[in-house]
Amino acid sequence: MKTIMSCRLKSKITAHDSFITINKQIIIMKKLTFLLLLLLSTTAVFAQDPSVQMDDALRANGKIYVVVAVLAIIFTGIAIYLFTIDRRLKKIEKEK
């Protein structure tokens, strides 16, 4: 009888302990996410170097339109892909 009681107490303790460790992990993840956002925001400031004149050179040569066209094609392809996945998921959800 004592072993059954001790097993029940151990299971309650471990469930509580795992809940505490999950909460600690969530707090750590929130802190790491905040730190990562801070680091990324500071790198954006350093990325604004006025000595880079790539956009002027691309405009002068007329290649900026090629860059814009390639980006438009890529974004259009991604959008079409996402819409087709969305339609497939809706079809699967309706079947279930």
Beta strands in 5-94 (DSSP E): none
Give Cα separations from 59 to 19, 34, 54, 72 (angstroms): 58, 38, 9, 17
Residues 20 and 40 in one domain: yes
Residues 37 and 58 in one domain: no
Give residue 15's identity as a one-letter amino acid code: A
Tens of pLDDT along the chain (96 residues) come to 455 545 555 555 555 566 667 788 888 888 889 898 888 877 666 666 666 677 777 778 888 889 999 999 999 999 999 999 999 999 999 988
Residues 38 and 71 in one domain: no
φ, ψ of residue 39 in degrees (nearest 5)? -65, -40
Residues 55 and 91 in one domain: yes
Residues 54 and 91 in one domain: yes
User: Domain containing 66: what range?
Assistant: 49-96
Residues 36 and 53 in one domain: no
Residues whose CB is less than 8 angstroms from the CB of residue 55 and which lie 6 or more positions away in sequence, other chains included: 64
Residues 43 and 63 in one domain: no
Q: CB–CB of 58/64 below 8 Å? A: yes
